[in-house]
Amino acid sequence: MIPYENLGAVNKPFFEELKQSFASTLESGWYILGHQVKSFEQAFADFLGVKHCIGVANGLEALFLSLKAFDFKPGSEVIVPSNTYIATILSILHAGLKPVLVEPDIRTYNIDANRIEEAITPRTCAVMIVHLYGKCCEMDKIKKICSQHQLKLIEDCAQSHGAAFKKQLSGTFGEFGAFSFYPTKNLGALGDAGAVTTSDPDLAKRISTLRNYGSEKKYYNDLIGYNSRLDEVQAAFLLVKLKHLEEINNHKRKLAAIYHQHLKEDFIKPFVHADYLDVYHIFNIRHPKRDQLKKYLIDHGIQTEIHYPVPPHKQKAMQGVLPAHISFPISEEIHRTTLSLPCSTAHSEEDIYRVVEIMNKF
Ligand SMILES: *Cc1c(COP(=O)(O)O)cnc(C)c1O
């Protein structure tokens, strides 16, 4: 059996380091907003080359707090891709704003930069893009649109730790980069964790105040804040994992290269272009008989996943929230045909050659 994911195996190479960092955090007696969080924030900001990183509770909150930091007028519109994980859209709704969905580019699966301008109205306040599957969006076009229309840019980087467009890392383009460190992400904690990155000192201060009850000075509350803190134990784990992020990304790229080179042409493979440095959070292919293929692979001992089976606008939760009878044919086509193949640090090159061999007989 080749599992899709095996988090125990993914973390095994780091067990000794993780145990040591847990022990030292335990013995420190300081469990919230202490030395580990500060060190991780500094290390992650340095890794990206931004001025500030603020640890928060999870990826959803990183997105939500990024929106809250601006104090947009309630009901203002935020442009967002129609094919993303639901969290991106939920963050907009939780912030009292209106998501305006824009179709993806069928090659990259990311928001189609050429369709953003037609979605802009006088109520548009921000563009929230998603670097899906570990590939950056077309950032030169998107940056230009945002500056021409004076829109704030927030990047959902939950799947793109270390990914780059024209040599610039994701999380460094917009006013904010919002990261998740959910255990399956390329940089994964051992529980929930997230962070917001920015190079604007005032925005950084807004986020760090909002995440801690609107308080900068203990028991003095300046803003209507939240409890959305990254805890010391997760920060200590993340410091260990961050040192190995390049190695993790390189391993995933090496496995992806095997798929790219050897999978037969029946399968639509991820778009490859010199402008993009991909990190393959997810390695997906598309096939018209996706469900049959998934079953065939299970019958041959290979687990796969679907990211995602139901597009956000078709989710029950969105009934009455997004305009009724809204249709996003490109997004729906992706959701109907996409299949995510094993591609983690728990997989060896041999595993991938085995998957290829079986797939090519489909
Ligand atoms: C994982 C993910 C999130 C949410 O992260 P959590 O830490 O689970 O809240 C948001 N957006 C995308 C694209 C994701 O993949």
pLDDT given at position 332: 96
Mean pLDDT by 10 residues, the chain (362 residues): 98 98 98 98 98 98 98 97 97 98 98 98 98 98 98 98 98 98 98 98 98 95 97 98 98 98 98 98 98 98 97 93 85 98 98 98 98
> How far, in Å, CA of 176 to CA of 171, rounded?
7
Same domain for 93 and 164: yes
Whether residue 328 is contained in a domain is answered as yes
Ligand 1 atom nearest to CA at 182: 7
Please identify, by atom number, the ligand 1 atom nearest to the C-alpha of residue 61: 9
Q: Is residue 323 part of a domain?
A: yes
Given this model, what pLDDT does residue 37 score?
A: 98
pLDDT at 324: 65
Q: How far is the C-alpha of 117 from the C-alpha of 100, rounded, in Å?
A: 12
Answer yes or no: do 122 and 253 share one domain: no
If asked whether residues 83 and 137 sit together in one domain, one would say: yes
Q: Both 199 and 252 in a single domain?
A: no
Task: Output 87-91 pairs: Cβ under 8 A, ≥24 positions apart.
Answer: 87/59, 87/60, 87/63, 87/156, 87/158, 87/180, 88/63, 88/128, 88/130, 88/156, 89/312, 89/318, 90/60, 91/60, 91/63, 91/64, 91/66, 91/67, 91/128, 91/178
Distance CA 242, CA 340 (A): 25
Classify 75 in phi/psi space as left (phi over 0), alpha (psi -120 to 50) or beta: left
In a domain, 2, yes or no: no
Are 299 and 355 contained in the same domain?
A: yes
Whether 80 lines ligand 1, by a CB cut-off of 6 Å, is: no
Distance 60 CA to ligand 1 centre (A): 6
Domain total in the chain = 2
**Could you tell me if 54 and 174 lie in one domain?**
yes
Please indicate whether residue 57, judged by its CB atom, sits closer than 6 Å to ligand 1: no
First to last CA, the chain: 18
CATH code of the domain in which 218 resides: 3.40.640.10
Final residue in a domain of this structure, among 179, 212, 242: 242
Q: Which domain holds residue 303?
A: 245-359
The reply to whether 152 falls in a domain is yes
Among 187, 210, 242, residue at a domain's last position = 242
Ligand 1 centre to CA of 85 (Å) is 7
pLDDT in tens, 94-111: 999 999 999 999 999 999
- In a domain, residue 65? The reply is yes
What's the confidence (pLDDT) of residue 55? 98
Whether 49 and 178 map to the same domain: the answer is yes
Residue 323: the pLDDT is 75
Which residues are designated catalytic?
A: 185
- What CATH number is associated with residue 329? 3.90.1150.10
- 223 and 320 belong to one structural domain: no
Specify the pLDDT at position 166. 98
Same domain, 250 and 228: no
Q: Is 1 inside any structural domain? A: no
What is the pTM (predicted TM-score) of this model?
0.98
Domain boundary among 214, 242, 270: 242
Residue 171 inside a domain? The answer is yes
Same domain, 159 and 280: no
Is the same domain home to 148 and 269? no
Does residue 56's CB lie within 6 angstroms of at least one atom of ligand 1?
Answer: no
How remote is the CA of residue 307 from the centroid of ligand 1, in Å?
12
Same structural domain, 130 and 151: yes
Residue 237 lies in a domain: yes
* Cα(283)–Cα(263) distance, integer angstroms: 12
Cα of 362 to ligand 1 centre, how many Å? 32
